[in-house]
Amino acid sequence: MNIVVCVKQVPDTWAEKKLSPDDKTVDRESVDGVMNELDEYAVEEALKIKEASGGEVTVLTMGPEKSVETIRKALSMGADKAVHLVDPGLHGSDALATSYALAKALGTIEHDLVILGVESTDARMSVVPAMLAERLGAAQLTFARKVEVGDGTVKIERQTDVGYDVVEAPTPAVVSVVEKINEPRYPSFKGIMAAKKKPLTTLTLADAGIESDKVGLAGSGTEVAEFAPRPPKQAGQIVKDEGDGGVKLAEFLAQQKFI
Amino acid sequence: MAEVLVLVEHVDGAPKKVTFELLTLARSLGEPSAVFIGNGYDNAKDKLAEYGAQKVYVAGDADAESYLVAPKAEVLAQVVQQAAPAAVLIPSTPEGKEVAARLAVKTESGVLTDAVGVEDGFVAKQSIFGGAINVSSKVSKGTPIITVRPNSTAPEAAPAQPSEEQVAVTLSDAAKKAKVLDRVTEKRGGRPELTEAAIVVSGGRGLGEGSNFALIEKLADSLGAAVGASRAATDAGWYPHTNQVGQTGKTVSPQLYMAIGISGAIQHRAGMQTSKTIVAVNKDPEAPIFELVDFGVVGDLFNVVPQLTDEIDKRK
Ligand SMILES: Cc1cc2nc3c(=O)[nH]c(=O)nc-3n(C[C@H](O)[C@H](O)[C@H](O)COP(=O)(O)OP(=O)(O)OC[C@H]3O[C@@H](n4cnc5c(N)ncnc54)[C@H](O)[C@@H]3O)c2cc1C
Ligand SMILES: Nc1ncnc2c1ncn2[C@@H]1O[C@H](COP(=O)(O)O)[C@@H](O)[C@H]1O
């Protein structure tokens, strides 16, 4: 089973994230980048499937030059090769444009399964996997907390509000994973050394056959009109429990008409 | 006035509260039309009229129960084609966002998710980066598709006599790939659903062990609230993962959020920061959760919570 894992580099969760004032996109230059946490689970799941049933794992990342750090990490974990879609024309792509570009790049890589994280920590939209399935005409198996690969089929447990759904589809399929699915491995020293020699292909818009007017800020379907830091919250009232903390809290709730 | 489509979220026909919220919101933006997909329309009919739907598109035989997400997007795309609405509003639930995603691709339209409000001209209000920045966004291509978080609008009845239009559907083969074999409901009390609840009481590692979640449940029940948990608590197996609040759990935006024995890690905040009122009980005065609260008690939860529950019961 050949698998492509889509991995995104995002601003470090702990860093203060910003939008750049000029074009209102996420400022990716001024902060440290890390692999989107959920994508580590996607990489791990791909490696587990490969270990059980063979095939190749390819990492696919769309993002600026510095996303190579994230690609290296995925390769150090054990992925076989990588494709980096990088082009100035991609800057500012929203989900609609990103999914189009990723679908085009996927067209250049042979695959039975595409695995993604369920959500990126910067965009937090949780839409790219479903969009990709739609674009590729492949089955959508998203929010997986368990993946079972059969002969030409994939079965997942899809996390729901009340429990889970068992969903099955033929390959090719697009799978997104939740963080309950596995425990991502740490790259070993050997893995880090090996990663340096693994093939990394760079694709430009032209290489992937991407129409330039369908990506980037101009090709996106959405725009940020305005943004502002959230007005600082008025400092709340904090009391120390002197044996009456519960009563004081109840009084506050009564004042606010919750009781 | 132009039509604004609202996708009805329902369980066996009975619409969820967020549907009424979206109909109310749609009324402030245009003429609300409901789109009902799946079985059980009879259970929805009166309620959709009560909350002001001017028109209802009904796709009863869409087989939306047997296949994942794709059929709903296909039906909705068909209605969009036919009605050429000014916008489509969809509940910002995991499935709602996926329907919106596929609809966006099908109609080559921009999609905005997790709106906490929508204003004139379909400007969506969003809160990003764990609540640090407020953003106003617009769709610049195709039909605006906006997913709106539950609890963003107060539902108001506005009785109407909607016209009904049956939508005939023939699903494409592509929509019938991901077959649902089984739907499993895990342990669930009679409490309101987490993302819809007006009040959420969440417990964290401070509870020390799973059985102590009984304290959280008792407090929640005294307020008619839903129960949430931090990841530390769900990882330890104290409470089901379906109740986890945060970046990798659910995003909630209730009127009142109570964090009990939760430190307030950035990943937890990501799921509750837009709550209207936030209170916390924590024995550590330095816990980051106190930066967010409207009211906080520094103290041992094992003293504060039972006293609070008693006091609430007394005041009823
Ligand atoms: C990829 C990723 C995703 C994540 N997603 C989520 C997520 O979705 N949701 C989430 O919640 N976390 C998430 N986390 C984990 C998050 O970083 C924190 O580890 C977690 O939220 C901590 O849970 P907690 O606050 O219950 O525990 P702790 O941080 O250990 O806090 C326990 C608190 O209880 C207090 N306490 C202890 N005893 C008492 C007592 N007797 N009375 C009163 N107070 C007491 C302590 O002072 C402390 O502040 C994620 C982490 C990663 C890396
Ligand atoms: N630029 C990108 N390059 C590679 N994968 C991406 C990119 N953007 C999003 N993804 C994938 O899509 C998932 C969901 O992202 P999102 O819909 O933005 O929340 C992520 O976890 C990634 O697996």
Q: Which residues in chain B (228-247) have CB-CB distances under 8 A to chain A?
A: 241-242, 247
Spatial distance between the Cα atoms of B280 and B292, rounded to a whole number of angstroms: 9
| Region of poorest pLDDT, from A1-5, A229-233, B192-196 | A229-233
Is residue A14 over pLDDT 70?
no
Count of alpha carbons within 13 Å of A159, Cβ hemisphere only?
Answer: 22
Identify whether A172 is preceded by a cis peptide bond (ω within 30 of 0).
Answer: yes
Q: Identify the pLDDT of residue A15.
A: 66
Give the CA distances from residue B79 to residues A256, B96, B141, in Å, rounded to whole numbers and listed in that order: 43, 16, 18
- Contact between A5 and A129 under an 8 Å Cβ cutoff? The reply is no
Which atom of ligand 1 approaches the CA of B230 most closely? Answer: 11
Q: Which ligand is nearest to the CA of B269?
A: 1
Is residue A13 over pLDDT 70?
no
Is B287's C-beta closer than 6 angstroms to any atom of ligand 1? Answer: yes
ipTM of the complex: 0.87
CB atoms within 10 A of CB A169: 23
Out of A5, A8, A57, A106, give the residue to mutate to test ligand 2, the one with the largest number of ligand atoms within 8 Å of its CB: A8
Spatial distance between the Cα atoms of B316 and B314, rounded to a whole number of angstroms: 6
* Closest CA to ligand 2's atom 10: A8
Mutate to test the interface with B, among A24, A34, A127 (most CBs of B within 10 A): A127
pLDDT in tens, B221-278: 999 999 999 999 999 999 998 899 998 889 999 999 999 999 999 999 989 998 999 9
Is residue B165 over pLDDT 80?
yes
pLDDT in tens, A154-193: 999 999 878 899 999 999 999 999 988 999 999 999 999 9
Is residue B187 over pLDDT 70?
no
* Closest CA to ligand 1's atom 19: B232
Q: Which ligand is nearest to the CA of B301?
A: 1
Mean per-residue pLDDT for A131-141?
98
Check A247 against B311: CB less than 8 A apart.
yes
Q: B107 C-alpha vs ligand 1 centroid, how far in Å?
A: 42
| Region of poorest pLDDT, from A71-85, A116-130, A237-251, B110-124 | A116-130
Count of alpha carbons within 13 Å of B6, Cβ hemisphere only?
Answer: 33
Element (H, E) at A218: helix A216-219
